[in-house]
């Protein structure tokens, strides 16, 4: 029997970082993503976000990749948001995402960070958060 435990902190934003995930719909989207993850066999430990992005803490299964998990979560949720007309305009996620591994010793800290997104973004914009991630993890935007 295989045992795999690879924690991934996955962050993705709305198309063009539009602030479409208002408080009135944000938690409905989270609940739907949680339900979808259960149906698809995706182990989602934590989810939260703000008006223009979502953070997820996921443990990859032995046959799962970050790209596939991201596609399943983002693709299905954007279809659902548009089908149910949760917002007045067409909804989409940005193509890109941020994913970084999380050591077992940091899982509880990442869960706290994810759970505290609303308070966190009262003080810091998502752009500032992205810049902080870029500096911390040595990630650079590549312009084509």
The neighbour count for residue 94, using CB atoms within 10 Å, is: 15
Where along the chain do its domains lie?
A: 6-137
Which tens digit of pLDDT belongs to each residue from 115-142? Answer: 988 876 667 666 666 677 666 666 665 5
Check residue 119 and give its pLDDT.
75
pLDDT for res 32: 97
Fold of the 6-137 domain:
Alpha-Beta Plaits (3.30.70)
- Check: CB of residue 114 under 8 Å from CB of residue 57: yes
What was the pLDDT predicted at 108? 97
How much is the pLDDT for 144? Answer: 41
Give 31-87 pLDDT, tens digit per residue: 999 999 999 999 999 999 999 999 999 999 999 999 999 999 999 999 999 999 999
CA 125 to CA 22: how far, in whole Å? Answer: 15
What's the pLDDT at 130? 62
Question: Given the DSSP bridges, would you call strands 6-13 and 98-102 parallel, antiparallel or unpaired?
Answer: antiparallel
The CA R_g of the chain, rounded to the nearest whole Å, is: 15
Q: Note if the pTM is more than 0.95.
A: no
pLDDT recorded at residue 133: 63
* pLDDT reported for residue 48: 95
């Amino acid at each position: 029997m295989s045992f795999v435990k690879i924690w991934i902190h996955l962050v993705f934003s709305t198309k063009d970082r539009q602030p479409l995930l208002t408080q009135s719909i944000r938690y409905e989207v989270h609940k739907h993503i949680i339900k979808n993850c259960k149906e698809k066999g995706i182990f989602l430990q934590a989810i939260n976000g703000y008006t223009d992005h979502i953070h997820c803490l996921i443990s990859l299964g032995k046959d799962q990749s970050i790209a596939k998990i991201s596609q399943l979560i983002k693709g299905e949720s954007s279809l659902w948001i548009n089908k149910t007309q949760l917002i007045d305009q067409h909804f989409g996620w940005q193509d890109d995402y941020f994913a970084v591994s999380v050591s077992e010793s940091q899982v509880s800290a990442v869960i706290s960070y994810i759970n505290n997104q609303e308070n966190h973004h009262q003080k810091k914009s998502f752009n500032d958060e992205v810049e902080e991630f870029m500096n911390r993890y040595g990630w650079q935007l590549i312009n084509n």
